[in-house]
Amino acid sequence: MSSRSINNDKIKFKSLNSKNVMPHKRGNDYEPYFRIGKTLEKLLSEESKKIRPGDKLIDICERIENRIIDQGLFPAFPVNISINEIAAHYTAPPDDLTEIPENSLVKLDVGIRDKGYIVDAARTLVFNDGLKKLADAALSCLDAAKRVMKPGINLQVVGQTIYDEAKRLGFKTIANLSGHKIGRYKLHAGVGVPNVPVPVDYKLKVGDIFAVEPFLTFSEAPGMAKPSKEAYIFSFRKKIRSLNKIQEKIILLAENRFKKLPFAERWLIKPLGRRVKEELTFLAKKGALISYPVLIEAKGGIVSQEEDTFLITEDGALPLTRA
């Protein structure tokens, strides 16, 4: 699930399972990542084959989330299904009637957590042969990024590599969407992985966990994502005073059950009722919650995305969901 630059005009970033390629730490420190990564790889492979035009987004989201829960794990964030010009942060709202369209490009972005360990990955599904090159280019950019990622490399080099590969293939990266460092119970751990050549004050270290996610569009598009008016995903930011009972319950769930990670509006309907949308909007305006607006390419350009979570080892970057 992507990070978004706050200022679209000035883009700034602060900053497989193989027993033979491990950092100099106890091997079992990373075992949860390998285990979750293998689970997520299998899930994405199977679901990518199941999803077809005409399927309802809410059915896909809930099926995948329930598959994760049935294995004793938890979604690290609501399943994202972003279609065509929608770049990121679309999860089905309650009673969503949206279906996968014919001749579309669909980004399936899924995260799994277990005891705070998180793996995040995305695949682009192609239902229009004319868009296959755009989808393939995102994967090529991810592979190019993997090849340069190793200890001591500045993340600016990764951004430059993704940008150059996209340009070589005739496409453009989405400049204000990025990958992100991952920590325990932290989906976005304070360091972004750019998809463009911008300064980044961070060099990769052995043991780092990073989600890298090139977002691409056609070269004539602006290559920027803009927020829509709708937001169906939220996360905990801080406690505030003077809350009604429903608001108090939302904050408790956001902090304790969801562990301050992103959650979906529809996850709250059963425990709290239909009024929850109004309360979520209020809490976001008051600064108690972070809202994640649906992000759309600025001029409606079709967007592709590929993502994997990488463990940085002495020998390079180890992908966790692509054996």
For residues 10 and 32, state if they share a domain: yes
For residues 153 and 205, state if they share a domain: yes
For residues 283 and 313, state if they share a domain: no
Q: Which residue has the tokens 């108090």?
A: 248
Give the whole-number percent of the chain exceeding pLDDT 90: 89
For residues 19 and 140, state if they share a domain: yes
For residues 244 and 277, state if they share a domain: yes
For residues 206 and 249, state if they share a domain: no
Residues 6 or more apart in contact with residue 137 via CB below 8 angstroms: 165, 166, 169, 170, 171, 216, 304
Q: What is the mean pLDDT of residues 69-94?
A: 98
Q: What is the CATH number of the domain that holds 184?
A: 3.90.230.10
Range of the domain at 20: 3-226+299-319
For residues 182 and 314, state if they share a domain: yes
- pLDDT at position 19 over 60: no
Q: What is the CATH number of the domain that holds 247?
A: 1.10.10.10
d(CA 93, CA 147): 38
> 7 vs 194, which has greater pLDDT?
194
pLDDT tens sequence across 153-202: 999 999 999 999 999 999 999 999 999 999 999 999 999 999 999 999 99
Predicted TM-score (pTM) above 0.85: yes
Q: Which residue has the tokens 């932290």?
A: 186
Cα-only R_g, the chain: 19
Q: Which residue has the tokens 């996968």?
A: 100
For residues 51 and 115, state if they share a domain: yes
d(CA 99, CA 258): 28
For residues 37 and 83, state if they share a domain: yes
For residues 130 and 271, state if they share a domain: no
In total, how many domains does the chain have?
A: 2
- Residues labelled catalytic: 109, 120, 180, 188, 213, 307
CA count, 13 A, side-chain hemisphere, 111: 25
For residues 251 and 187, state if they share a domain: no
